[in-house]
Amino acid sequence: MTFLLTLLAAIFVLGPLIALHEWGHYIVARLCGVKVLTYSIGFGPKLFGWTSKKSGIDYRISALPLGGYVKMLDEREGEVAADEQHLAFNCQHPLKKIAIVAAGPIMNFVIAIALFWVLFMTPSEQLATKIGQVLPDTPAAMAQLPVGDKIVAIDGHKVQTWEGINYRLAGRMGETDNVSVTLQSDAEGNNTTKTYQAPVKEFMQGNAQGKDALSSFGMIPWQPNIAPIVGDLTPDGAASRQGLQVGDRITAINGEEISDWISATRIIRDSPETLLSFTVLRDGNSVQLSIMPQGKKDNLGNDYGQIGAMVAESEIVIPDAYKTTVVYGPGESLVKSFKKTEQLAVMTVSSMGKMLSGMIGLENLSGPITIAKVAKQSFDISWQMVLSTAALISLSLAVLNLLPIPVLDGGHIVYYVIELIRGKPLSEGVQMVGLNIGLLLLAGFMVLAIGNDISRLF
Contact 305, 273 (CB under 8 A): yes
- Residues shown for the chain: 458
Residue type, 279: T
How would DSSP label each residue in 219-288? Answer: EE--------BEEEE-TTSHHHHTT--TT-EEEEETTEE--SHHHHHHHHHT-TT--EEEEEEETTEEEE
Contact 219, 134 (CB under 8 A): yes
Handedness of CA 366, 372, 378, 380 (dihedral sign): negative
Burial 25-54 (b: 16+ CB within 10 A, else e): bbebbbebebbbebbbbbeeeeeeeeeeee
For the chain, the maximum distance between any two Cα atoms, rounded to a whole number of angstroms, is 95
DSSP character at residue 130: B
Which has the closest alpha carbon to 266: 206, 212, 205? 212
User: What is the distance between the alpha carbons of residues 74 and 88, in angstroms, rounded to a whole number?
Assistant: 5
Question: Within 13 A of 351's CA, how many CA atoms are on the CB side?
Answer: 24
Q: Which residues are catalytic?
A: 22
Which has the closest alpha carbon to 21: 402, 445, 334? 402
Contact 34, 90 (CB under 8 A): no
Question: Within 13 A of 389's CA, how many CA atoms are on the CB side?
Answer: 23
